Amino acid sequence: MRTLALIVVAVAALLVSATAQAQTYDPSFPVCLQAYGGQAGYIDCSYMSLAQCNATASGRSAQCLINPFFTHPNEGRIGRRPVR
């Protein structure tokens, strides 16, 4: 019975200790650069326009993408006028 309990605890510890993946897209910028290249591919979301990103991607194995997680600073806020 102890062996079974130790096995269950060991398996649970292995499942809990799995690595978590960080968020890839920065929600502060509307455009991302996705670079390709062997195992060193990456996504960089630090561009304010497609033109700015395309200038960086020019001549490289990279492409520019619209950030699917971009949150506009005023998005979702409903403005109310003060009562006078």
For the cut 70, the answer to whether the pLDDT of residue 61 exceeds it is: yes
The per-residue DSSP string of 1-61 comes to -HHHHHHHHHHHHHHHTPPPPPP-S-TT-SEEEEE--TT--EEEEEESSHHHHHHHHTTSS
Instruction: Report the mean per-residue pLDDT for the chain.
Output: 81
Q: Determine the pLDDT at residue 26.
A: 81
pLDDT digits (tens, 9 = 90+) for 6-46: 788 777 776 666 555 566 788 889 999 999 987 778 999 99
Burial annotation 2-31 (CB, 10 A radius, 16+ → b, else e): eeeeeeeeeeeeeeeeeeeeeeeeeeebbb
Q: Determine the pLDDT at residue 81.
A: 60
Q: Determine the pLDDT at residue 69.
A: 87
